[in-house]
Structure 1
Amino acid sequence: MITIDEFPGRTINVDGKDFLYFGGTSYLGLQTDLDFQELFIKNIKKYGTSYSASRKSNIRISIFDKTESYLSNLVGSEGCITMSSGYLAGQLICDYFSCEDYQLYYAPNTHSALFRGQQYIYQTWQQLEKDVLKNRDKKHVIFLDSIDFNGNNFPDYKPLQKLPLEDVILIIDDSHGIGITGSNGGGSLKYLKSLKPKELLVTCSLGKGFGIQAGAIFGSETMIDNLKETQFFGGSSPATPSALATLIDAHSIYSEKRALLNRNIALFLTHFSNPLSFSMSKGHPTFSFKNEQMAALLEENGILVTNFRYPTEDDELMSRIVLSSSHTKEDILKLSKILNTLVI
């Protein structure tokens, strides 16, 4: 474990030694971007540093409705609600469907934000498909992550196309996709709608692709209205208004950063000689690996990557290289050169 005193950018200084950092989830490098910070500071001065009142309060701030409308249009959904985090957004949906009326199925590698208690996670899509087809009389709810870091779901979601989706309520965690994938960063919802599930809900963190501390849920107007009427939503503190305002104000910055990220991904794939030795999703800046020695070898060569057990110490090691918009051409070329000497 390495402890640092500031947010990690493209480099990290550890005990006086500089490392290139290819880890984390700041895909667009926004947290350390000066223009983005200026917008955030401006909005803090207007909206304050936090807002802990219920959304059901008799005094309401208009930025919530404005941002939710903006996000709905961006993603392509009828409705949207924001929460204080992506984890809380996932828990709201899980809480809503955790009753005897529904049969819940958790696809391989589903994030724990969608769990309530000890859920059974399928190890293979084949077994999940078999159980869904066997229990056609149930109200099926299938949970999965858009980016599972094994390349199984995004962008084509082929495992879903084998299921009777007309009978399925589909819950997608798009935390690692929204903001960087899809048209203008709108994520996967538009494509998933084309698969015509019985009901579609997309939940996400806005901290990865949009750089703000907040979460969101997208779905039909009826479903979003139902979620707004729950005790879970009414009793929760909302996202910080200054963060939501920044999301709207920074639209041009997001576009510029996505273009930079796409160029960095293309540059990496051009110069790295063996990308198929990693698990990846087309158009996504993460490259996962299971060779436990790889992270140590990269560190010896001045590169730090994501490498820890998640979400608990009892879980598998999560190791991946993460490109971001903040990396320079020289950074990408150095990474590629080192990997070409390490990967057989």
Structure 2
Amino acid sequence: MKQLRCSKPGAFEYQQVDTPGLKEGFALIKVLQVGICGTDLHAFDGTQPYFSYPRVLGHEIAGEVVKIADQSEIKEGDLIAVIPYFNCKACIACRRGKSNCCEKISVFGVHENGGMQEYIQVPVSSIVKKEGLNLDQLALSEPLAIGLHAVKRSKIQHGDWVLVVGAGPIGMGIMEFARVRGAKVIMMDVNESRLQACKERFGAEFLVNALEEPSEKIAELTRGDFCTTVFDATGNLKAINGSLNYVSHGGEYILVGLQKENFSFKHPDFHKRETTLMSSRNATREDFHEVMETLLEGRIQAEKFITHRIRFDQVGTDFDSLIDPQNQVIKAMIDF
């Protein structure tokens, strides 16, 4: 089978490898579609934490079950998504139902080889399906589950002002699930085309360019209250450090994006708000099921996120085009 490997930052190479066998407790999956996410882009440009080379990228996966030893809920021929966070099931986090932040977590396409290959072998416990979903919806279940998990970490109430910093696919997913909960969502970014995409594709009402006096504009929108929940979906250090200024008194600040360096706040500014600070990592099986139900009901439309498609045999040579800001990529899908 053909496999695409990121051999070092900025370099891909195709190679022929053996198709995986079938281990007990695992299933063999024919990969049909893989979404390209920020993790893949950061790995390609050498800025992804917890990463080593060479590595097969890709963890937003839709595929077909080819072989499975014990057919029960999951059967051969099923179209499925993969929960790509493989956990130990024994550590304190797993025992408390927080498998998304397992002490020994291994993320597909990050800590071990991922989905940019024709066949993969994954634990049956990491497979999730929902009858009636198409490949786009299945592949988008993972990034949308990250957005949903972040929203579920919050205490958003109907009518709250919420700020999402970073208008990429994760930020857009956070926006959509916050709006499902009745929040008034402000989208902020330095990229005007991303903000306009939020408006044109999703009907976002409140847009703020971070380069144009954002504090004044947010204060005006919220009548001086600022935002009871602020999400960072950038992973940008300057954005992380600066966005505390937009949190209301008594509010919460949730870090979804990942940054290698230390971040810092002025303690009096943090303390006077009695700010709740938390992170949101990955997602749980329950999040995946809720996302899939939301997609099936049409409350969120997968097609609004996808702007580009690329064939698997083109990724090695054309991946650079997906990074080029002029191409205005929001979410690109690899078709096999």
Query: What TM-score bracket applies, with the shorter chain setting the length?
Result: 0.3 to 0.5
If the length of structure 2 is used for normalisation, what is the TM-score?
0.37
TM-score (norm 1): 0.36
Answer 1 or 2: which has greater strand percent: 2
Q: Kindly indicate whether structure 1 or structure 2 has the higher relative contact order, using CA contacts under 8 Å at least 6 residues apart.
A: 1
